[in-house]
Amino acid sequence: MTTKRTLLRAAVAACLAGTALVAVAQSDYPSKPIKFIVPVPPGGAADAMSRMVAEHLQAKWGQPVVVENRPGAGSSLGMDAVAKAAPDGYTIGMGNIAANAINPAVRPGGFPYQAVKDFAAVSMVGVTPLVLVVNAEKVPARTLGEFIAYLKANPGKVPYGSSGSGSSLHVGMELLLQKTGTTAIHVPYKGSAPMLTDLLSGQVVAAMDAAATSWPHVQTGKLRALGVSTAERAFFAPDLAPIKDTVPGFDVRPWHGVVAPAGTPPAIVTKLSDEIQAFLRQNATEAKLRERGVVRVGSSAADFAKAMNDDHELFRKLVQDAGIKPE
């Protein structure tokens, strides 16, 4: 009996000691450099906002936050590296709607990670609204209602472009078609730049495109903007109505947000999230994001986790109903 009691006491003591060590490690976080994986090439809005967050955390905590760009496979290479990293808070990543919601829905059987379960949501950083645009010379519609009527009058004949099958530009347009009971011809491109070239020349006549690339051509009159993809009006086009005003329930908001590997201690996730939220509340931060066409968010970890899950379910159903296949 004495031996059993001794062993039990030793086990309890070891458990308490281990818990204490974990608590100390979390309270000291970070005590060494943090790797920040960005799943896109240098340059562009996602890379810029990642570096802004990294610079702030480094200045605030006095530990290096090293940005590592790992582009490829629609951002899935970088996100796979985050998912498989040690869940200790020393590897984080800049997730996005494609890598963490859409792509896993398009390739459910052969994806290297699970869209939601393999990540700990930290904070959504920002949203880049899409704009429904048409070639001003090729499409007579001047309002979204007129464009829907145009699609119904030309079922399966209107070519629209996207930056690739399964991209947010693609699924955004497919959601519009689904909700309006219309059809069109999808023409996928390898990126937004070649798609925009053909949109301007009239090879395709419509697109749900990022405002950063299309808006300058809206201002010159070569493209006509018919609606913004987010439920709220965009700061760069306050007079442009959201698509949802004409198509109830439509809300597509390509987001970027900080994630960590699943299993990262909640105390560390909370510390990261609180500091990122505080940074995003600064007016100077908002101004810099707006220069990139980004609407700041700064959500709690719980709100971000819900948004990730909701988007994955939305696009999983859309992909299934629309028959979207990987390229």
Per-residue pLDDT reduced to its tens digit, 81-139: 999 999 999 999 999 998 999 888 887 777 899 888 999 999 999 999 999 999 999 99
Higher-pLDDT residue of 327, 167: 167
CATH C-level class of 32-127+254-322 = alpha beta
Mapping DSSP to helix (H, G, I), strand (E, B) and coil, where does residue 9 land? helix
Q: What are phi and psi of 79, to 5 degrees?
A: -70, -30
Q: Where in the chain is CATH 3.40.190.150?
A: 32-127+254-322
Radius of gyration of the chain (CA): 23
- The per-residue pLDDT of the chain, averaged, comes to 90
3-state class (DSSP) for residue 65 = strand
Cα separation, 134 vs 200, in Å, equals: 9
* pLDDT of 18 higher than 50: no
Distance between CA 269 and CA 79 in Å, rounded? 17
- The CATH code for residues 130-245 is 3.40.190.10
| pLDDT confidence tier of residue 28, bands split at 50, 70 and 90 | very high
Mean pLDDT of 49-53: 97
Residues of the chain with CATH 3.40.190.10: 130-245
The two tokens of residue 241 are: 């109505």
What is the arithmetic mean of pLDDT over 313-324? 85
pLDDT in tens, 148-204: 999 999 999 999 999 888 888 999 999 999 999 999 999 999 888 899 999 999 999
Can you tell me the distance from the alpha carbon of 203 to that of 208, in angstroms, rounded to the nearest whole number? Answer: 15
Q: Determine phi and psi for 176, rounding to 5 degrees.
A: -60, -45
DSSP H/E element including 285: helix 283-291
Split at pLDDT 50, 70, 90, the class of 5 is low
Give the Cβ contact number of residue 13 at 10 Å: 10
What does each C-alpha distance from 300 to 51, 122, 125, 257, 274 come to in angstroms? 20, 7, 10, 11, 8
Largest CA distance in the chain: 91
pTM: 0.85
Tokens of 160: 């629209």
Residue 184 φ then ψ, to 5° = -155, 175
> What is the pLDDT confidence band of residue 326, given thresholds at 50, 70 and 90?
low
- The phi, psi pair for 310, rounded to 5°, reads -60, -45
- In this structure, which amino acid lies at residue 30? P
> How confident is the model at residue 327, as a pLDDT?
64
Contact call for residues 115 and 79 (beta carbons, < 8 A): no
